[in-house]
Amino acid sequence: MGAGVWWVWEGLLYRATQLWQGGRARREVGIRAVMEHGRSGKQMVVGLGNYGMGRTRHSVGMAAVNHLARKLKVAECWKVDRQCSGDVALAEVGELQLVLLKPRMLMNINGGSVAKTAEKFQVNPEDIFLVHDELDKPLGKFSIKQGGSARGHNGVRSCIDCLKSDVMPRLRIGIGRPPDKSSVQRHVLGKFSSLEEEALKTILEQSTELLLKFITEKAAGKDSRETPAKTVTKRSNSFPQS
């Protein structure tokens, strides 16, 4: 399926989601129940992307969560959870319980899976960490953002819509904009080049390390203001963009 056709299809699915969210009241009850229980002791890390398109730029969030699972030695523990509409793996970091999620949905409707998983595992929105691609950062840069607007990212927008909150922290991993006038859609749905794949190994290692540090410090009650952008290497600006 061509990138343009896929993008249109994804857009249609997002609009159809507005009908699917006719079950909104039920999900709102679930989210309110989470909030009323207070902090559950669980944290959730979500890799946003298009399921089945793991090597594309738009799904770098899923690649990061896969890397995190390997780092936490739960890469063999992924299970399809139909109740969550996604793949789920459980991990522990010290006394923290982490729920790792890869939604089995297209990017624009990832939020449905995130809301279902938050309800099932009783995780508050402020304890849900979204990992996603960022066009406005070059490949090799990443940072953590403390909630706020979706800034044009449809996967994040879907999560905000379904959770009825924008407080979720995000790990934003730069993929850069296309180097010429080629379409953004084609760029984000395209696969990383072999050189980019090589650079990505270091990017995923360092970005997930930053995320784990942020999660543990946040759970310990330390100041968790927005982190400055991190650069993997001094050569990051020379990474190829296609």
Catalytic residues: 58
Which residues in the chain belong to E strands, given as ranges?
42-47, 79-81, 86-93, 96-103, 128-134, 141-146, 169-174, 230-231
Between CA 154 and CA 169 the distance in angstroms is: 16
Q: Are 191 and 56 in contact (CB under 8 A)?
A: yes
3-class secondary structure, 191: strand
Residue with tokens 């789920």: 88
Nearest to 145 by CA among 122, 168, 164: 168
Residue with tokens 């793996």: 89
- Which amino acid makes up residue 168? M
Residue with tokens 């729920």: 99
Residue with tokens 């090589």: 198
| DSSP for residue 84 | T
